[in-house]
Amino acid sequence: MPIRVAIVGSGPSGFYTAEALAKSDADCEIDMIERLPAPHGLIRYGVAPDHQTTKNVSRNFNKTAARDEFRYYGNVDIGSDVSLDDLRGMYDAVVLAIGSPEDNKLGIPGEDKQGVIGSAAFVGWYNGHPDFVELNPDLASANVCVIGNGNVAIDIARLLVKTREELSPSDITNDSLDALQASSVTDVFMLGRRGPVEAKFTNVELREMGKLENCAPQIDGSIIPDAVPEDEDMSDRDRRLRERNLATLREFVPRQPDEFEKRVHFQFYAAPREILGGDKVEGVRLERTEVVDGRAVGTGEFFEIETSLVLPAVGYRSSGLEGLPFNDDWGVAISDEGRAGEGLYVVGWIKRGPTGVIGTNRPDGQEAARQILEDISEGTKPGRAALEAALAAKGTRIVNYQDWLRLDAHEKAEARDGAPREKVITVAAMLEVLDGG
Ligand code: NAP
């Protein structure tokens, strides 16, 4: 009997697991279960819409999906349609590739005020994620504060200041593009609680900020160190990457504030302490910091930035899934290198937290495949026959991969001039396209 594997989640870590299993010599049936009709998770809904080359990896996912042993079950929710326990009863192995869909909290007073929008929601909104189409961010503020110095923060800052011409060839949704172009935003503050050496954004992304059509990056040159301090404990590669960031930031120093209509201000050594205002955000109170032993330590000097929109991009977490051993402090599954129980495996961000690039998930998927084939020599469970019976009993409208390819073709046909696609942004509308409503 084939080994029957269910993979929950259709983002990079799920697809890399499927690919590794499909390419192994073992006889496997691989069923991928996804809550949304459309597959590809972070590729479709997380990667910035103007980073299309990163999204090309989905072509490889399509190749995996075309293999005989693979089936896709989109529009199926683990929880309401079928539970994790049920799934474990149906399949020899269940792999959770469910990512880290929630925002880390800042943990400061005022962060629940209207006008504080975490990066998961904001990125989801401009990427047409069905959960965030109603977000309607208030973009009437001239100043916007983006908290964090990672690649997500820099993606958000860039999207806020790009022109229509720059954004139009991307797959940002028409609604979000129009909202961003109608915005009053002129000054984006990228707020890092530590210094330029500690910033987590990568150099390609940072350099992009210097090449924008209508935005000049701004930085106070006096805070940029001459070099990465010798006593910093890091690999040569890491040191080189950080030196490159410092060099790029130095190039920003002469840029004039009135060069263009918009500015992105890189403000380092600035830790958010309070979100100000009544029900709605009116500003952010920050404390100047210094870095001591790698940590941001407050100096007792405070300042404020007036704004009605605060976008924390301070990393992600998961809140788990019923039946999954879970570390709530860390927001990741409890596992032994990916083994989370008998026949239960985790891969990607739910396993190791939200770090690395898309390709980092590939060895993860390969490791999970290796573990499954090491642990299970022969299948004993019914797999897709049981899943399909359970979903039929529930009346779930399964979206299969052929359906997705039809939706994909529809989105491509609906694209504005020069754009790769116009995403269908609600589940109801996706099903309507598929069912010819
Ligand atoms: P990240 O790289 O971990 O950055 C999080 C940032 O938030 C850090 O600067 C961190 O500062 C800051 N932060 C955390 N808690 C904070 C607090 N309480 N107050 C102020 N600042 C706080 O996370 P991310 O940007 O969400 O990215 C997630 C992963 O996706 C990363 O591996 C990233 O490289 C990847 N990604 C890659 C791309 C790309 O390749 N183009 C694009 C997007 C995302 P500290 O360093 O001081 O903790």
229-231-233-236 Cα dihedral, nearest 10 degrees: 60
Is the model's pLDDT at 132 over the cut of 90?
yes
Say whether both 73 and 153 belong to one domain. Answer: no
Give the C-alpha separation, 189 to 378, whole Å. 56
Measured from the CB, is residue 147 less than 6 Å from ligand 1? Answer: yes
Say whether both 52 and 148 belong to one domain. Answer: no
Measured from the CB, is residue 205 less than 6 Å from ligand 1? Answer: yes
Return the closest-CA partner of residue 149 out of 281, 261, 289, 274: 289
- Of ligand 1's atoms, which has the minimum distance to the CA of residue 105? 18
Q: How far is the CA of 166 from the centre of ligand 1 (A)?
A: 24
Q: Reduce the DSSP state of residue 232 to 3 states and report it.
A: coil
Q: Which one-letter DSSP state was computed for residue 105?
A: P
What pLDDT is recorded for position 90? 98
Measured from the CB, is residue 359 less than 6 Å from ligand 1? Answer: no
Q: What are phi and psi of 23, to 5 degrees?
A: -85, -5
Average pLDDT over residues 321-341: 96
* Amino acid letter, residue 188: V
* CA within 13 Å, CB half, 374: 8
List the CATH number of the domain containing 241.
3.50.50.60
List the CATH number of the domain containing 332.
3.40.50.720
- Which of 241, 295, 314 has most ligand 1 atoms within 8 Å of CB, for mutation? 314
Find the domain containing 210 and state its range.
104-315
Average pLDDT over residues 404-433: 97
What is the distance of C-alpha 218 from the center of its chain? 26
pLDDT digits (tens, 9 = 90+) for 162-217: 999 999 999 999 999 999 999 999 999 999 999 999 999 999 999 999 999 999 99
Say whether both 69 and 190 belong to one domain. Answer: no
Give the C-alpha separation, 177 to 437, whole Å. 27
* Amino acid letter, residue 35: R
Examine the fold and report which residue of 264, 294, 315 is the final residue of a domain before the chain moves on.
Answer: 315
Q: pLDDT band at 437, cuts 50/70/90? A: low
Q: If you write DSSP's letter for every residue of 139-194 in order, what string do you get? A: ---SEEEEE--SHHHHHHHHHHH--HHHHTTS---HHHHHHHHT----EEEEE-SS
pLDDT digits (tens, 9 = 90+) for 351-360: 999 999 999 9
Say whether both 283 and 182 belong to one domain. Answer: yes
Say whether both 151 and 223 belong to one domain. Answer: yes
Say whether both 368 and 338 belong to one domain. Answer: yes
Say whether both 149 and 241 belong to one domain. Answer: yes
Say whether both 37 and 148 belong to one domain. Answer: no
Residue located nearest, by CA, to atom 41 of ligand 1: 151
Q: Are 350 and 98 in contact (CB under 8 A)?
A: yes
- Of ligand 1's atoms, which has the minimum distance to the CA of residue 315? 26
- Of ligand 1's atoms, which has the minimum distance to the CA of residue 316? 26
Say whether both 92 and 167 belong to one domain. Answer: no
Average pLDDT over residues 50-56: 96
Say whether both 25 and 119 belong to one domain. Answer: no
Sign of CA dihedral 208, 210, 211, 212: positive
Q: Reduce the DSSP state of residue 194 to 3 states and report it.
A: coil
Give the C-alpha separation, 183 to 193, whole Å. 27
What pLDDT is recorded for position 310? 98
Give the residue carrying structure tokens 């909290």.
105
Q: What are phi and psi of 399, to 5 degrees?
A: -100, 120
- Which of 55, 100, 152 has most ligand 1 atoms within 8 Å of CB, for mutation? 152
Give the C-alpha separation, 243 to 374, whole Å. 43
Q: Which one-letter DSSP state was computed for residue 336?
A: B
| Total-model pTM | 0.97
Average pLDDT over residues 123-136: 97
Total domains in the fold of the chain: 2
Measured from the CB, is residue 275 less than 6 Å from ligand 1? Answer: no
Say whether both 229 and 357 belong to one domain. Answer: no
Examine the fold and report which residue of 256, 288, 315 is the final residue of a domain before the chain moves on.
Answer: 315
Examine the fold and report which residue of 315, 334, 350 is the final residue of a domain before the chain moves on.
Answer: 315
Say whether both 56 and 74 belong to one domain. Answer: yes
Average pLDDT over residues 230-237: 82
